[in-house]
Amino acid sequence: MAGRRSTGRRSTGTRVDLHRVRDRLPASIQDVVRDYERHLALERGLSPHTVRAYVGDVVSLLGFLHCLPITTPDQNNDQGRDDQGDSDERNSAEGKDDKGKSDSSREVSTGGIAALDLQALRAWLAALRTAGTGRTTLARRAASARTFTAWAHRRGHLPADPGGRLASPRARRTLPSVLREDQANEVLTASASGAAQRDAVALRDHALLELLYATGVRVSELSGLDLDDVDLERRVVVVLGKGGKERTVPFGQPAERAVREWLEHGRPSLARPVSPPALLLGARGGRFQPSSVRRIVHEALSSVPGAPVMGPHGLRHTAATHLLEGGADLRSVQELLGHATLATTQLYTHVTVERLKAIHDRAHPRSQ
């Protein structure tokens, strides 16, 4: 198998530039952040996107600990949005009142990393909540803080692990938007019509749409596929998932035909002498990037009347939903999607209610 690589949602809204916050941290704390970043990337094998998110949360926490601005004033009117930190700093977010004195919740935030205790963690989350951070983001940031403090304690940076006693708000699980079966068929039929002209780009786009819907893989997993990862005879792909875990995912005959057409009549037209062994190539012969896959999916779905606005992850939701509706068991769907826990897969069971009602009506003696 060819060498594997990691390939990387951010909500809109005003954010603090956490790069600036990181640069303003004391040199010793920046060293700790770099060490943690290496731990996440090399020891835990997380994707660059996940590493950036974890490190961003830690920078926000340590910035708060050292009285640096980590929130923006207009977030008070932006309830429920992420504030992962990317816009200009604002003076009113310095944690000071109108008289310029430090807020009492920041008085604990004057020392080095050893000052990171349970009180500081709670004060940080409270500051984010006051700035308008939503429950889901708060839950994620609390989880990131717990991961960091556990690591910092193991490395000797903290005398104890305060994160083990940190509670966080339960995130609200929103139900994913999915395509109906007829809408999915319409998307793929339209894509197949374009590919019938044997245009290289149309063949590639049809192949990626078929694979996304057939396998339910993540967009980064799709973009990371190499030629050796696809077995057309057995109709399976080997993908590198989160945490560097490999799994084998099957696909059906329509996806097989689409991939064969792309490999025989499309990819040779886009390949260059320096092209990587990637399954999907861009117009210049390089590996097709996740951002380009998202654009293709958005364009394909926008042509279907009534289809929800979604990207590649929406096709992943759709694939899981249609598998369950077709009678697949939850454990099998978990394995196919590469979910670490069954609880994540259970999110899709809401759409099977109508199917379960139909089974109940047919099978239960007291259903009528």
**Among 157, 206, 267, 339, which one carries the catalytic annotation?**
339
Contact criterion met (CB below 8 Å) for 2 and 229: yes
Active site residue 284: no
Catalytic residue among 106, 204, 316, 317: 316
- Catalytic site includes residue 242: yes
Phi, psi of 96 (to 5 degrees): -120, 155
Q: Among the options 242, 247, 265, 298, which is catalytic?
A: 242
The whole-angstrom separation of Cα 346 and Cα 320 is: 10
- Which position among 218, 267, 287, 317 bears the catalytic label? 218
Q: Is 99 a catalytic residue?
A: no
Residue 51's closest CA among 308, 242, 287?
Answer: 242
The C-alpha atoms of residue 57 and residue 50 are separated, in whole angstroms, by 11
Closest by alpha carbon to 210, among 318, 339, 306, 303? 318
Distance CA 74, CA 97 (A): 16
Is 101 among the residues known to form the active site?
no
Measure the CA–CA gap between 220 and 312, rounded to whole angstroms: 10
Longest dimension (CA), the chain: 73
* Residues annotated as part of the active site: 218, 242, 313, 316, 339, 348
